[in-house]
Amino acid sequence: MKKQPISKYPVPELADLPEDIREMMLAVQEKAGFIPNVFVTLAHRPEEFRAFFAYHDALMLRESKLSKAEREMIVVATSGASHCTYCVIAHGAILRIYAKNPQIADQVALHHSNADISDRQKAMLDFAVKLSRTPEAVSDKDHQHLRSHGFDDEDIWDIGAITAFFALSNRMAHLINMRPNDEFYLMGRVPPPSKQA
Amino acid sequence: MKKQPISKYPVPELADLPEDIREMMLAVQEKAGFIPNVFVTLAHRPEEFRAFFAYHDALMLRESKLSKAEREMIVVATSGASHCTYCVIAHGAILRIYAKNPQIADQVALHHSNADISDRQKAMLDFAVKLSRTPEAVSDKDHQHLRSHGFDDEDIWDIGAITAFFALSNRMAHLINMRPNDEFYLMGRVPPPSKQA
Amino acid sequence: MKKQPISKYPVPELADLPEDIREMMLAVQEKAGFIPNVFVTLAHRPEEFRAFFAYHDALMLRESKLSKAEREMIVVATSGASHCTYCVIAHGAILRIYAKNPQIADQVALHHSNADISDRQKAMLDFAVKLSRTPEAVSDKDHQHLRSHGFDDEDIWDIGAITAFFALSNRMAHLINMRPNDEFYLMGRVPPPSKQA
Amino acid sequence: MKKQPISKYPVPELADLPEDIREMMLAVQEKAGFIPNVFVTLAHRPEEFRAFFAYHDALMLRESKLSKAEREMIVVATSGASHCTYCVIAHGAILRIYAKNPQIADQVALHHSNADISDRQKAMLDFAVKLSRTPEAVSDKDHQHLRSHGFDDEDIWDIGAITAFFALSNRMAHLINMRPNDEFYLMGRVPPPSKQA
Amino acid sequence: MKKQPISKYPVPELADLPEDIREMMLAVQEKAGFIPNVFVTLAHRPEEFRAFFAYHDALMLRESKLSKAEREMIVVATSGASHCTYCVIAHGAILRIYAKNPQIADQVALHHSNADISDRQKAMLDFAVKLSRTPEAVSDKDHQHLRSHGFDDEDIWDIGAITAFFALSNRMAHLINMRPNDEFYLMGRVPPPSKQA
Amino acid sequence: MKKQPISKYPVPELADLPEDIREMMLAVQEKAGFIPNVFVTLAHRPEEFRAFFAYHDALMLRESKLSKAEREMIVVATSGASHCTYCVIAHGAILRIYAKNPQIADQVALHHSNADISDRQKAMLDFAVKLSRTPEAVSDKDHQHLRSHGFDDEDIWDIGAITAFFALSNRMAHLINMRPNDEFYLMGRVPPPSKQA
């Protein structure tokens, strides 16, 4: 079966991109060894691209009491609930690496209630999935339940805002049929190639 | 019954905000006569605030074959489907003004299929609501159906990206229980006060 | 965009109606200043018309510990859940007037959990919406929960019976695509015209 | 297991009822051999009782191109979809008698798509169940589909209005936990006792 | 209306069946007076047939603290939730006989929460229907709730395994449109013919 | 985080198992290099175990026009729809091996509509997921649609029966919280260890 394209939309050449976006991509490539398709495909609209990654970084790189692995768990669980192949495959890879656990992404994407994570993390993901799929159902009781697990108001904003951002991201991925890079499938499942030498 | 607060989170004083955000708010106040609560409440997190409004403006202010009223219809229909009081009341007001139609926002929020809008606009809103509520259900057939109504690929990106952005926005509003300003309820239903003089 | 007709079905002339129905309409017109379309459109079937309004009046005009505003809240919340434009717009107007609150109808129709109403009223609307949308899910526990908020058995019958009647009403409105009168949109949002003189 | 009561609410004595209601019940008893519990239990509220049965008779006894069996099919299919024990058991009995078919009620209540009925009747029940469970989903296309099966506008009103009335009826039955009379379970499954003599 | 066939697939002649299957059928016929269509229709695939009935008997005939009537209640409740005509009609008959109660099957199929059964049995059926319709929603809390009603771990396996087996069975019945034998409709509603002599 | 146990139920020792079951397990171990947990955990009930694997083999090992990879796709797609971690992880591994494609299982589990598979295979999985999650919604039209993709009646039985069997299997896995063996996570993603030598 022929592989599907990485987007329903035209994908710009690096050379044709605005300077700031091209440099951002080259920096990512330098660090990761490849350019994730979310960069390549969203660059179709440079202004939206800039806002998208500014928002992403504001949430995912900020100081937070949520660990980086926990933030990626939120992405993977909510994207799994919305059947978003790109987000689960790409962020699943990142989750495996942050958590140093080759099984956790598959478990969280499929059924976080039975994953090898803490009860506190399950409560966090219950909230995230509820906000993601039925935002109108979230109530004060849900906030209180998170507080009973030790999350404070800023933690809850983090959980909710990451969920909200990836609700956007999932819909963009579905809209353009964004395809994950081949590299993500194996990342974090086996030692990285550079260490095998 | 006492009115609920405008956010579950602390609302910063204008004086305490970063310069760029304060100026942005004052400019809005100058133009609209009041500062919509989405500015005031999201300013709790300045970096996310900047990305949020950069994204919003990239979508809602750009050149597009969708009219401004059509873009607001997308916001109102998808926010109605997610029971988001802030987004429906605030963007309903804007929609009434752009469309010069005092009934359209209530109609679109409640049941766009029977609203006084064109079949083309109904097809646009069917797509938006589907992408908003069940993004995994959107398929090539939905894109083709939009094309049969005269939307081209860039129009479809606009429809989808606005839907995606307000999926984020709806979830932030539910997260913090964002309350609409009193001013929005009547805007666009009666001639503006300044014209009554 | 051309306005849609008030019904998919023929609308009888006042002169062609049975005497009792014509007099009822004229009495309503005398009092309200216009004839709500629910009268005009349902008059297509006089016998059903008579039973419909007899039922309506038996519930909405009877002595009850529920206030008139509370009864209209039930109509607006359940009709919002069923996306019934006629019922939300028309009864939203009545609710605004009874409650002397220009915001309450929009809040209750969109998301009653966050409306500016009491916890007791929220419990009442939770029950009503559950009975309206998933009647099979109502159980003894729901009755007990209402009693814990001070509702007695007759109050619960009132809540349930109003919900049941408007389940009928919503379906008739969807069946014939009943259109609300223009007058309802603004009623209760601004002082009535007669008082502006 | 002890049998549950016929209503959560007090059931009035025949002697305590208003004259017109008592006579109506005695007439039913005369004809059917027993008084169906819907009469006994709804008599708790005489005024609503009168409107309920006036509405019922206006729909179920009127001249119509829908046969009496077809009207009962609508009741049984929509009440099955709402898990209403009283309505399915009681009207299932009436359906068996009108259709002279001891299997039809069970088939229609469980899965009308596979019942031994005509394609035209299946289209009628598809429409009725859609209007009953998701009234907001009914559109012009559904009306057109019924017309393609030979139903005219007045037939469609009949189908829709019966559906609407039993949406009310189902909710009242769930509200008070109305229990079907023992007699209904076997009616129409075997020759009536009087004919066995 | 012509009766529909008992299967979408060819039904083998007794004479053409493998010896063991034919003997099994004749034994059933000897005992029940007729061959239930589940035997006749599934015999289209002899190897699957043998596994199906081995599984069925392992669950339904084993020593268990669940009574035979309780096991059939599980079948009827879960099959009702999946609108499986064959399973509800056939196992409803068996349930009536085991429970010596002509009303119980209709009650359990339609709305087990209001059936004339014990609270313990209602808890059992709540669990079964949840596992049947939304298996991913079952959690430790559900197991604990069953234990609070006196079910031990082996009882819970029985409840769950019967539910799981009939999830398979319901889907096979829907796949081939399996039709119940006429005999089932009346079984257990009236004294068996042989005793009337 | 401590790994969860492989079952909520006691897991029998090999030595304590009936002879036939022990030999079956040893044969699997010989072939696969480990004993999948579905064998170990279901052996808690030997008689059900035998029927389970007889049924499994009757479907998965029989001559069929569906390829082995296609049969595993059905398992993975339907188990993904039911959030069944064991079935997706274990059968995902088998699917990768049969299809010689390291990405296919993740794609099919998450969103088969966008997987790198043929339109015919997508139609097959649409049918399987519909039968799995809402068996009552399957109709003649679905059979006809499969036939339009070249599936004959026996192919459709295969698709449906595999779906039905794994509906059972998913529910057993959820019931006992069956945990996949660690080995499955990486199988088919990288060349097998024995070939690396």
Which residue bears the tokens 């079951």? F21
Residue D188: pLDDT over 50:
yes
Long-range contacts of A129-134, Cβ-Cβ distance < 8 Å, separation of 24 or more: A129/A77, A129/A78, A129/A81, A131/A160, A131/A163, A131/A164, A131/B171, A131/B174, A131/B175, A132/A78, A132/A81, A132/A82, A132/A163, A132/A166, A132/A167, A132/B171, A133/A78, A133/A81, A133/A82
Compute the nearest-CA separation of E69 from chain F (Å).
Answer: 20
Chain D residues with CB-CB distance to C167 below 8 A: 164, 167-168, 171
End-to-end CA distance of chain F: 33
E123, amino acid identity: A
Classify each residue of C96-116 as buried b or exposed e, where b means 16 or more C-beta atoms within 10 Å of its C-beta. Answer: bbbbebbbbbbbbbbbbbbbb
DSSP state of B180: P
pLDDT digits (tens, 9 = 90+) for F25-72: 999 999 999 999 999 999 999 999 999 999 999 999 999 999 999 999
Which residue bears the tokens 């009725």? D128
Beta-carbon separation of F48 and E176 below 8 A: no
Q: Which residues contact C141 (CB under 8 A, 6 or more apart)?
A: none
Residue C170 and residue F132: Cα distance in Å, rounded?
33
Residue F195: pLDDT over 60:
no
Nearest to E93 by CA among E31, E176, E181, E166: E181
Decide if C16 contacts C43 (C-beta within 8 A).
no
Q: How confident is the model at residue B173 (pLDDT cuts 50, 70, 90)?
A: very high
pLDDT digits (tens, 9 = 90+) for C131-149: 999 999 999 999 999 999 9
Instruction: Tally the C-alpha atoms within 13 A of residue B117's C-alpha that lie toward its C-beta.
Output: 30
Give the CA radius of gyration of chain F: 17
Decide if F38 contacts F170 (C-beta within 8 A).
no
A115: nearest CA in chain F? F4
Q: How confident is the model at residue A20 (pLDDT cuts 50, 70, 90)?
A: very high
Decide if C160 contacts C135 (C-beta within 8 A).
no
The residues with which D187 forms a beta bridge, in sequence order, are D190
D161 to C189, D75, D84, D103: CA distances (angstroms): 33, 11, 18, 26
Sign of CA dihedral C88, C91, C96, C99: negative
Quote the mean pLDDT of chain E.
Answer: 96
The minimal CB distance from B168 to the residues A9, A82, A165 is found for A165
How high is the pLDDT of residue A191?
75
Determine whether A136 is exposed, middle or buried from the number of CB atoms within 10 Å of its CB (0-12, 13-18, 19+).
middle
The minimal CB distance from D51 to the residues C45, C55, C138 is found for C55
Residue E181 and residue E39: Cα distance in Å, rounded?
11
How high is the pLDDT of residue D194?
56
Chain E residues with CB-CB distance to D88 below 8 A: 106, 110
DSSP state of D2: P
B and A adjacent (3 or more CB pairs under 8 angstroms): yes
Cα-Cα-Cα-Cα torsion E37, E41, E42, E44, nearest 10 degrees, comes to 150
Residue B128 and residue B70: Cα distance in Å, rounded?
11
The residues with which F187 forms a beta bridge, in sequence order, are F190
Decide if C184 contacts D176 (C-beta within 8 A).
no
In what helix (H) or strand (E) does residue F13 lie, and over which residues does it extend?
none
Instruction: Tally the C-alpha atoms within 13 A of residue C63's C-alpha that lie toward its C-beta.
Output: 1
Chain D residues with CB-CB distance to C172 below 8 A: 160-161, 164
Q: Which residues contact B167 (CB under 8 A, 6 or more apart)?
A: A164, A167, A168, A171, B78, B82, B132
CA B4 to chain centre: 21
Q: Which residues contact A14 (CB under 8 A, 6 or more apart)?
A: A22, A25, A26
Give the CA radius of gyration of chain C: 17
pLDDT digits (tens, 9 = 90+) for D110-127: 999 999 999 999 999 999
Q: Token pair of F88, please?
A: 């997706």
Beta-carbon separation of B102 and C177 below 8 A: no
Beta-carbon separation of B85 and C102 below 8 A: no
Interface check for D11 against chain C (CB to CB < 8 A): the answer is no
Interface check for A176 against chain B (CB to CB < 8 A): the answer is yes
How high is the pLDDT of residue D61?
96
**What average pLDDT does the segment B68-84 reach?**
98
Nearest to A103 by CA among F194, F88, F167, F172: F88
Residue F196: pLDDT over 60:
no
The minimal CB distance from B135 to the residues A44, A52, A171 is found for A171
pLDDT digits (tens, 9 = 90+) for A68-81: 999 999 999 999 99
End-to-end CA distance of chain D: 33
Decide if F133 contacts E134 (C-beta within 8 A).
no
pLDDT digits (tens, 9 = 90+) for B93-103: 999 999 999 99
Q: What is the largest CA-CA distance in chain D?
A: 53
Q: Which residues contact C183 (CB under 8 A, 6 or more apart)?
A: C33, C34, C93
pLDDT digits (tens, 9 = 90+) for F90-141: 999 999 999 999 999 999 999 999 999 999 999 999 999 999 999 999 999 9
DSSP state of D82: T
Chain C residues with CB-CB distance to B1 below 8 A: 116-118
Nearest to E92 by CA among D106, D80, D182: D106
End-to-end CA distance of chain C: 33
Interface check for C110 against chain B (CB to CB < 8 A): the answer is yes
Chain A residues with CB-CB distance to B157 below 8 A: 9, 44-45, 175-176
Compute the nearest-CA separation of B172 from chain A (Å).
Answer: 6
Residue C195: pLDDT over 50:
no
Which residue bears the tokens 């000897």? E30
The C-alpha angle with vertex C10 and arms to C7 and C15, in degrees rounded to 5, equals 115
Nearest to D96 by CA among E77, E197, E106: E106
F83, amino acid identity: H
Compute the nearest-CA separation of A173 from chain B (Å).
Answer: 9
Nearest to C111 by CA among B74, A141, D135, B88: B88
Residue E2: pLDDT over 90:
no
pTM of the model: 0.96
Look up the ipTM and state it. 0.96
Interface check for E11 against chain F (CB to CB < 8 A): the answer is no
A3-17, E179-193, F125-139: lowest mean pLDDT where?
E179-193
In what helix (H) or strand (E) does residue A66 lie, and over which residues does it extend?
none
Neighbours of chain E (3+ CB pairs under 8 A): D, F
Q: Token pair of A76, please?
A: 């993977």
Give the CA radius of gyration of chain E: 17
pLDDT digits (tens, 9 = 90+) for A129-171: 999 999 999 999 999 999 999 999 999 999 999 999 999 999 9
Q: How confident is the model at residue C196 (pLDDT cuts 50, 70, 90)?
A: very low
Residue F13: pLDDT over 70:
yes
Residue B197: pLDDT over 50:
no
Give the CA radius of gyration of chain B: 17
E168: nearest CA in chain F? F164
pLDDT digits (tens, 9 = 90+) for C163-185: 999 999 999 999 999 999 999 99
E and B adjacent (3 or more CB pairs under 8 angstroms): no
Report the SS3 class of residue A134. Answer: coil
Residue A147 and residue A159: Cα distance in Å, rounded?
12
Decide if A92 contacts A80 (C-beta within 8 A).
no
Determine whether C61 is exposed, middle or buried from the number of CB atoms within 10 Å of its CB (0-12, 13-18, 19+).
exposed
The backbone torsions φ and ψ at residue C150, rounded to the nearest 5 degrees and listed phi first, read 95, 5
Decide if C165 contacts C117 (C-beta within 8 A).
no
Q: Which residues contact E35 (CB under 8 A, 6 or more apart)?
A: E25, E28, E29, E181
pLDDT digits (tens, 9 = 90+) for B21-32: 999 999 999 999
Instruction: Tally the C-alpha atoms within 13 A of residue F36's C-alpha that lie toward its C-beta.
Output: 20
Residue B39: pLDDT over 70:
yes
Q: How confident is the model at residue B68 (pLDDT cuts 50, 70, 90)?
A: very high
Nearest to B187 by CA among C102, F151, A136, D177: C102
The minimal CB distance from E85 to the residues D102, D114, D189 is found for D114
